[in-house]
Amino acid sequence: MTDVLSDLLQHSLRIVLCGTAAGTTSAAERAYYAHRQNKFWKILHETGLTPELLRPNQYRNLLQYRIGLTDLVKAGVGMDRATLPKLTAVDRARLSNAIATFRPRFLAFTSKTAGEKFFDSKRDYGEQLEPIGDTRVWILPSTSGAANGSWRPEIWHRFADEVRAANARESH
């Protein structure tokens, strides 16, 4: 089975945002975070990670802001709580190898489910203790409309502040 959505990865990224798998709307539209109730594009703009509000079909524009995209499970489609293909060691290794290759400053899972599946353990939101090489790893609240009950934009804002602080240290 081929990847539902191609990775948006290259060298010199500041951030790679990683979901669990493409949702059904995203798969149909061939665009990341495409469901109209998903807050992903709005929170990227609200936190200042993107200077403009992008639409899902403009996801490739994230590269100009040094932001990349991927998913843990590349061949599966569905919501986190739906039955996704079981995350395998191959999926974990694929993501770890991509991060080791492209070396972004940050990897942020865009849901607790994605982060917990990657680490194979219960986790809290925020920065994780285990980096991947030099890449700092965060778990952020899901932007999915289905996860409104656990929506905490302040964690996304804290993440954006850390990204800015790291950039400021880098430029001095």
Answer whether 135's CB lies under 8 Å from 124's CB. Answer: no
Read off the CATH number of the domain in which 153 is found: 3.40.470.10
C-beta separation of 48 from 71 below 8 A: no
> pLDDT tens, 123-145?
999 999 999 999 999 999 999 98
Q: Looking at the 3D structure of the chain, how many domains does it have?
A: 1
This prediction has a pTM of: 0.93
Asked if residue 113 belongs to a domain, the reply is: yes
CA 52 to chain centre: 18
* Strand 126-127 versus strand 136-139 pairing type: antiparallel
Handedness of CA 142, 76, 60, 106 (dihedral sign): positive
Task: Count other C-beta atoms under 10 Å from residue 3's C-beta.
Answer: 12
- Burial degree of 45 (CB within 10 A; 0-12, 13-18, 19+): middle
> Is 72 domain-assigned?
yes
Report the pLDDT averaged over residues 55-80.
86
Residue 6 lies in a domain: no
Can you say whether the dihedral through the CA atoms of 121, 33, 141, 12 is positive or negative? positive
- Does residue 119 belong to any structural domain of this protein? yes
Per-residue pLDDT tens digits for 70-101 = 998 877 665 544 545 567 788 899 999 999 99
Among 90, 103, 89, 167, which residue's Cα sits nearest to residue 135? 103
User: How far is Cα 6 from Cα 130, in angstroms, rounded to an integer?
Assistant: 26
Asked if residue 7 is part of any domain, the answer here is no
Is residue 9, in this structure, part of any structural domain at all?
Answer: no
Range of the structural domain that residue 78 is part of? 15-170
